[in-house]
């Protein structure tokens, strides 16, 4: 029996593939390499210490998926594949709905045909929208999202809930990630964004290495301890371990469950800059600019449900996250092309 990981060559999928292998799961990876590279697959196989089966396949391709299910005995799917750039989703909404929502519906149909009815899905804290106060708890209302990317996550959670209601044999765990950063301790795999990064940590890393001149801090007039935005940063390896526990849980339970994966602690942009400088002894020049449209002041989790249900909690510190992000960046200045 094996676990299918969709999007397993991407940032979070590659780290999860390693931790799942370490935990004793047989895995099969699918990816279309839209936002990842064969070199990531090569390195994750090296770190896992085995020849993990791989299919270059798109989740919208039903025939390709059927082949994977017929050639392997898949008992659950850990579903990462999707597009994730918030800004791009505003200019290309149909691509996001087709890929993320259409692709997930297609995947579920093929899973049902193959009588595989267990899924761990990559959702996001973004489903909590603009109106809920932090700490964010799973039972808070979702859906007041401000961009098509976030809406795809909300819609998929709703669809998967309907699937579980219609057929009680289904199990779905919607994992709501907060802000994953950091990289594998080996420095061999990490986040490799295309072009200029949108997210804070890859941007800081590229400033520190001299590829970008300085960080723009988006607003210092929020109602936070230093005026800059506060987020719940979580080490990607802790996040990966959360998936292993969620999968263990999905093997023994039925129905749909939403679970936060965060640390429960918020750090501001200036806190992160300082933590990065301290951990790595490198300067990160920055300037304060205006707020980024769509940003909220504060977003952090109540992580207690994950601890209660899964027996999981994040263990790595902000210093670990900064150190590992920098090790990845400095060992691989051009990402997987280095």
Interface residues with ligand NAD (CB under 6 A)?
7, 9-13, 31-36, 58-60, 80-84, 99, 103, 122, 124, 177, 180
Give me the least distance between CB of 113 and ligand NAD, in Å please: 18
Q: Hey, is 153 helix, strand or coil?
A: helix
Size of the site for ligand UFG (CB under 6 A): 20
**Interface segment toward ligand UFG; rule CB under 6 A; list 24-32, 184-192, 196-204, 240-248:** 196-204
Alpha-carbon Rg for the chain, nearest whole angstrom, is 19
Inter-CA distances, 77 with 46, 80, 117, 247, Å: 22, 9, 8, 9
CB closer to ligand NAD out of 12 and 322: 12
Which residue from 133, 135, 138 is spatially nearest to 256, judged by alpha carbons? 138
- 300 noted as active-site residue: no
What percent of the residues of the chain are helix, what percent strand, and what percent coil, each to the nearest 5? 40, 20, 40
Q: CB under 5 to 8 A by kind: which of ligand UFG, ligand NAD, none does 58 bind? A: ligand NAD
Task: Write the secondary structure of 204-245 as one string of H (helix), E (strand) and C (coil).
Answer: HHHHHCCCCCCEEEECCCCCCCCCCCEECEEEHHHHHHHHHH
Site string for ligand UFG, 213-242 (x = CB under 6 A): --xxxx----------x-x-----------
Q: Which two tokens stand for residue 147?
A: 């961009």
**Catalytic member of 11, 25, 96, 149:** 149
206 near ligand UFG, judged by CB under 6 A: no
Residues pairing with 2 in the sheet: 74
Q: CB under 5 to 8 A by kind: which of ligand UFG, ligand NAD, none does 217 bind? A: ligand UFG
| Angstrom distance (rounded) from CA 194 to CA 244 | 28
Q: Catalytic positions, please?
A: 149
Binding site for ligand UFG (CB under 6 A): 84, 86, 124-126, 150, 179, 198-200, 203, 215-218, 229, 231, 269, 292, 295
């Amino acid at each position: 029996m094996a676990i299918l990981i969709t999007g397993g060559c991407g940032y979070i999928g590659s780290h999860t593939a390693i931790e799942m292998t370490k935990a004793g799961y047989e895995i099969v990876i699918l990816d279309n390499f839209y936002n990842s590279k064969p070199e990531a697959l090569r390195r994750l196989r090296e770190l896992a210490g085995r020849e993990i089966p791989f299919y270059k396949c798109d989740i919208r391709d039903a025939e390709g998926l059927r082949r994977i299910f017929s050639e392997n005995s898949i008992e659950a799917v850990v579903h990462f594949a999707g597009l994730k750039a918030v800004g791009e989703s505003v200019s290309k909404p149909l691509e996001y709905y087709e890929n993320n929502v259409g692709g997930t519906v297609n995947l579920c149909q093929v899973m049902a045909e193959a009588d595989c009815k267990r899924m761990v899905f990559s959702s996001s804290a973004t489903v909590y929208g603009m109106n809920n106060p932090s700490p964010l708890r799973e039972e808070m209302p979702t859906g007041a999202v401000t961009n098509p990317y976030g809406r795809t996550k909300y819609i998929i959670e709703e669809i998967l809930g309907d699937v579980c209601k219609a057929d009680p044999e289904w199990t779905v765990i919607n994992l709501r990630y907060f802000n994953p950063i950091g990289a594998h301790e080996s420095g061999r795999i990490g986040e490799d964004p295309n072009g200029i990064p949108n997210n804070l940590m890859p941007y800081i890393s590229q400033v520190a290495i001299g590829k970008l001149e300085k960080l723009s801090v988006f607003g210092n007039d929020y109602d936070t301890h230093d005026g800059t935005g506060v987020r719940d940063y979580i080490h990607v390896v802790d996040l990966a371990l959360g998936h292993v526990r969620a999968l263990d849980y999905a093997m023994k339970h039925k129905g749909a469950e939403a679970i936060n994966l965060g640390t429960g602690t918020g750090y501001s942009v200036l806190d992160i800059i300082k933590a990065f400088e301290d951990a790595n002894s490198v300067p990160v020049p920055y300037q304060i600019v205006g707020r980024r449209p769509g940003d909220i002041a504060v977003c952090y989790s109540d992580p207690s449900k994950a601890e209660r249900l899964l027996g999981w909690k994040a263990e790595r510190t902000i210093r670990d996250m900064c150190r590992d992000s920098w090790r990845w960046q400095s060992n691989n200045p051009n990402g997987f092309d280095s």
